[in-house]
Structure 1
């Protein structure tokens, strides 16, 4: 039996969330706390598997509550119920850095309640069951020994196949979703100072959140990190974050590479921006002179585009199961044969710093 704790001072939101959770097939018990003090008491009495918490509440805010809940039980997974605003985005990114596993946007009106319930139900089901972790393990594990042989070369500092391919790259494309912001923080803050290959990132997030993410990554990494703009030239040493609600693609004009924002293209794999759109575009215009990395996230977005990149001769990497918050997107990519290597976050950083 899984224990879920809802923490919100709005009785309406508590009822909406509780109602959505009735759609779970799993055996659960739901506790409600209308303020953080009640939440702390209930977390001390019961072994909470998942806490869904608001930010603005009496006595203390949601960020402080994360610390108390993690102190009581480090294994408690936390999802922030966030406001769809730029301040809400900043708070959410800080919550993810402090240990929240994911977030969901609060509905701003009654018309959005059904969409909110559907998204909440999907995320809670994944978090509680880990269903994506259990399918087709044999093929993934079969591929692991080959990857480890590459890593031994990295550790020894000897000429290495992956390093050689990476050095041919004129761009690195990263597709990432659930659990992504802290991973991106770790990668960009640990890159060597003279790392010059431009990086394009699709992180599944709404518009206000991607701008806040770019600003946070810029501040923490002391690198040039910015939200992508339509038509801008891709420059060495710059990290571009795809704008929420708009697909990110590239094109080549007179030997130079430029960013394109595709506003009128529908969602792909339920996402906009989509990792598939970016990877496919990079495959078309960069060919073998590119690296694609697919990382933690739910679903299948990015797998087909990464396979296109591999077929064009690009280096393709999937994040390892052990280092993923959710081993969904990388798993699908591995099963499709799209990933040339499977590496942990630390191994990816080490590889990038070999260039």
Structure 2
């Protein structure tokens, strides 16, 4: 049984979350109606995960996250409003230490989706925390350690890439912030990113990244010529793909069906890169639940592209990299710092 602390000043939301989690038989739920009560309980008891609302008396959710992180490293899930201001607040929470967020239901129709996402995310992060550190699946001999970054042949393959694709989900925003901030100013290869996010969140996220990293970072629009050194974030609620037209690469923003419940989907992005660029590309699958990206990045590897997975130790949830590795789609397993080190040698 996993121990969960639910912090929310709304009696309705406290009871709703508790009832959803109780129904699984996996969780023991404690509730706190104010941040002060929550901090008292965190000092006295050990929890596997904590859910936090933003609007609360005495201090907001971001301030509470910072206080909690001074006491414990327990994983924190932010309950976010489905609005553009809510998006900016969510990114502050992720930067402060929340591992992920979930959108608060605004209607009765959204309750089932909220329940599904809540249980899925809490279960995944609790299982990840309880796992033994002796994983076997990601130990690819050629990929372990920093020595691989010294191989000129690997650097040359990155240098020849026309585009880099990244698929990332749970735990992604802080990782991307750090990576893009550390990427050298004149990095020339365009990067396309599928970060699982709802529609109102991707534009604020791209704007935040652009400000933090001081780089050309934007939410992708349809039929935009892909420019040297720019980073394109997939638009929430749409798929992002690459298309070659008359020798030039363009972004495609596609309103197609969800792939494995995702829209945008990393599989769509990776498959399109395999088709448009072949071996002149790099695919990177990073922290996240599920298996999105594993099929598409396998297509990239079959075309000769360099394929990379984030290492288990640095992932919030190892699901997406693990699925790609198990499919035989991955050539290198690296930490985010090692990935940046490799890119900066181009």
Q: TM-score range by the shorter chain?
A: over 0.9
Could you tell me which residue of structure 2 aligns to residue 293 of structure 1? 284
Could you tell me which residue of structure 2 aligns to residue 209 of structure 1? 201
Greater mean alpha carbon deviation, residues 7-16 or residues 298-307: 7-16
Structure 1 unaligned segments of length 5 or more: list them. none
Say whether residues 1:279 and 2:270 are aligned partners.
yes
- How far apart, in 1, do the equivalents of 2:131 and 2:68 lie? 25
> In 2 relative to 1, CA 131–336 (structure 1 residues): closer, same or farther, beyond 3 Å?
farther
Shift of 1:161: 2.5
Shift of 1:320: 0.4
Could you tell me which residue of structure 1 aligns to residue 60 of structure 2? 61
- How far apart, in 1, do the equivalents of 2:130 and 2:155 lie? 30
> In 2 relative to 1, CA 133–271 (structure 1 residues): closer, same or farther, beyond 3 Å?
farther
Secondary structure class of the residue paired with 2:136:
helix
2:122 to 114, 121, 124: 124
Say whether residues 1:319 and 2:310 are aligned partners.
yes
Could you tell me which residue of structure 2 aligns to residue 18 of structure 1? 18
Structure 1 contact 225–239 (Cα < 8 Å) conserved: yes
Could you tell me which residue of structure 2 aligns to residue 196 of structure 1? 188
Greater mean alpha carbon deviation, residues 236-245 or residues 114-123: 114-123
TM-score normalised per structure 1: 0.94
Shift of 1:138: 3.1
- How far apart, in 2, do the equivalents of 1:50 and 1:203 lie? 23
- How far apart, in 1, do the equivalents of 2:48 and 2:33 lie? 18
2:234 to 213, 217, 242: 242
- How far apart, in 1, do the equivalents of 2:278 and 2:242 lie? 12
2:152 to 148, 156, 160: 160
1:114 to 92, 112, 115: 112
TM-score normalised per structure 2: 0.96
Secondary structure class of the residue paired with 1:152:
helix
Q: Once superposed, what is the RMSD of the aligned Cα atoms?
A: 1.7
Q: Please list the CA deviations of residues 96-123 of structure 1 after superposition, one character each: whole Å capped at 9, or x if unmatched.
A: 1110011000000111111111110111
- How far apart, in 2, do the equivalents of 1:19 and 1:277 lie? 36
Secondary structure class of the residue paired with 1:140:
coil
Could you tell me which residue of structure 1 aligns to residue 4 of structure 2? 4
Could you tell me which residue of structure 2 aligns to residue 94 of structure 1? 92
Secondary structure class of the residue paired with 1:138:
coil
